[in-house]
Structures are given as C-alpha cells and as structure tokens.
Structure 1
Amino acid sequence: MAAILNDRLLLFTPGTGSTALEVYLKVHAHIFIPNFTFVPDDRLQRHIALADVETLLNRKFDVCISSTRNPVNYYFSEWYRMRTKWAKELDKPDSWIHQSRTKEFTLKAMEMNFEDWIIDHFSDLSIDKQLHVGPHYKGSTKFLRCENLCEDFRSALSEIYNKPLELFPILRIVNSSNIPPSLYHSECSAAALEAIIPRFLDYNTACGYSNTVSDYL
C-alpha cells in the first residue's frame, strides 16, 4: 500500500505491521491514499515500490519511508502462521485459501519442518511462487522496522508522534514474540538461515538487519 503525508511517500508491505500503521495514520494524520485499483497486477498493488508510484502518479518524492521486517522473522512467522492459523482454513470448503497459492504453501508447511520448507520455497525462483518482504525498499530514505517500530516512527514521523505508540492497542503488531522461543531455536537451523539471508543482503544492509547467520541462532 502507498500513502502520501505532506510531500513524503509511505510504502507499507503486508507482513510488516502495515495494517496497524495505516489505521494509526488515518486516525492521527492527514494522509492521502492513492487509488491504484486500476492496476491489474494485485501483487503490484500490495508490494508497490517507489518507482511504480512515481510512474503512476507522474511525480517525484524526495523522501520515501518504507515499513520493513527482518526476513528471517518474516519467513519463520509465515511458516508458523500457516501451520497454526491457515491450516484451519483448509477444512472450510468456502474458504479463500482454496483459491490462493497460500494453500500450496500451507500444505507444505504442515508436512515440513522450517528448514525443509524454506529450502523448498526458494527452490523455484519464479516470482509468482515467492512470498515477499521488502522489494519496495529501494529508493527509500527512512525505514519503519517492525521490530523497532516505536523508535523508528518517532524518528521518521516526529511531527505526528504526540503520545507513546505503546498506548495505542492497534500497534501491538503480531510478530515473532508470540512464537514459542523453544520452537524458533529448534527449527531455525543454520541451513535454513543460509537459504534466506543471501537473498536479502542489500535489503538487510539498508534496513540495519544482520547478514550474519550466527546472530540468529
């Protein structure tokens, strides 16, 4: 999703706290959300980048702020969510999941440990098969990291930060904190990390995330 606050472009990608941020900004700031529903590619609408917005709106932005999430955190959370939340959808004949590629990912997540799932996930490099976090970051000048949201929000959007964000329940973002630590440590192997991290070297460096496998073990 893209939004405009004064002369700044805000880019929110699913899985990075984007819904909470959008709701907060709608309530506490005067933002403009461009209507890109005319774009036939739903993936482009959900993962739109700076260059896409500038082309569609025919204008330039000097400041672009993107919501981000550590890729290791993101993929592990997706695997866990598929095994717990989305798995329940499989038994519902009318569920949206039967019309989505998420069904394929979920079935595999139920059968595989995290290491096997993520290696299998990246074995097909076609863009249509990938769950994505972060391709929108290029050109961004500031980041709202899901793991460091309050501090980053205060720094990037200080003029609308008039109360501690912790006071707003809408910003209690679901992330790895609701996953049992023992599960993470038993499933997040070096092989799994080595399948993820090399694909996000530039992203991790730009956003301040580590590219060292041992930092996640």
Structure 2
Amino acid sequence: MSNLTGRQIMLLLGCALALITAAVGVYGLVRGPGETAAESPDARQTEVWAVADPTDAAVGLENRALPHTTDPVAYARAVAVSLFDWDTTAGFLPTDYTSAVLADADPSGEETPGLLADVATYLPTVQQWLDLGAMEVEQTIEVDEAYVPDSWSDAVEQAHGHLRPGTTAVTIMGTRQRTGVWNGEVAESSYPISFTIFVACQPSFERCHVLRLSELDNPLR
C-alpha cells in the first residue's frame, strides 16, 4: 500500500469493515437459528472523509444496559445505539460493546445462537478493531426512523401462529458516523444504514428481549 494516499487507505479500511450479517426472516424465528452467511464486504457502501470536530465526545460503556420496556420500537432504538456506538480507544474490545445486547437475548435460549452470529457481524473483528484503534476511530449512530414495517403483518399471517406471541419486527433507518485521525488530522465519515431488529415482548415476556437481527442494509419494509 506504499503508493496509496492516506485518504485511500481510510476508504479501503472503511469498506473492509462494512460486513454483512446473517440473513434472517420469519423462517429463522419460527424454525430456530440456521446457518449463517459468510462475511463479505458490502460494495454498496462508500465513505467520504473530511475534517471533523475534535471536540466530539468519546463513546464509553456507561449506561449501555438496554431499557426494561414493553415498547418494541423504543427498545429497538436502544438496541441500535448499543450496537453502533463505540470507541476503539477506550480500552475495550468489540465483545464488551455487544455484551448488553447479548445479555438481553431470548430468555428461552432458542434464538440465542442465531443472535450471537448476527451480532458478531455488526462489529469489526478484533484485528480490524486494533487497526481502527491505531487511527483512534469512534462510531455513533443517528436513528432517523424506527417503525414496524408494513410487511410484518403479512409475515405474521404466513407464520400460521408459529411465531412467539408478542414478536415484532422493527426497522431502523439511520446514519452511521465515524471519526478518526490520519496523519495528525481529524477526519470523519458518514453514510446511511438500515436493518431490522426482531424483538419479543408481552405476552411472551414481561418486557422486550432481542431475538434476531436482519442482514445489514437489507431490512424488512
């Protein structure tokens, strides 16, 4: 990479981190977790870097526990923030940032293996994390919309009563923002993302819990 500029290297690294998640739908929720898709770069995502505000606050692990609520939309918003807000310079690993979501997984354990696979593809690998740490990369998400997609009622009907009562799909539309440092200059990137979070609330459970995540940028609509 000796002939690449710093900006080109940052672009390549950003693309390498745009991993896809395991595809999931009603079949996975009805029949249990299945095989996960192989990880690969998502060619649809691009990043444009520019000078950023160096006063941006770092993202830590404080207050990352998911809320105890029966509102699936509010709960899904909190899941999105927990997955996408992180700081590679804070001394933590990706598993530290996913722990809050995994701790709130399906209490029955049926969907937990699938959720583990889903969550792992939403964050960088350990090696990628270390590479990003050298560039002091932080990430946040701005949730623009969170809603139950129109197609969910059809999915529930097609499941013929096999879905756990209180299961809801919530689609998240937002913007992923990253800041980092390259050659002493603070830089930033921003691009849209979308995905669907499957949660189960009352009457199956006293409060909402995470079941599965959709493929990144392939949400239910």
Q: TM-score band (shorter)?
A: under 0.3
Normalized per residue, the structure richer in strand is: 2
Normalized per residue, the structure richer in helix is: 1
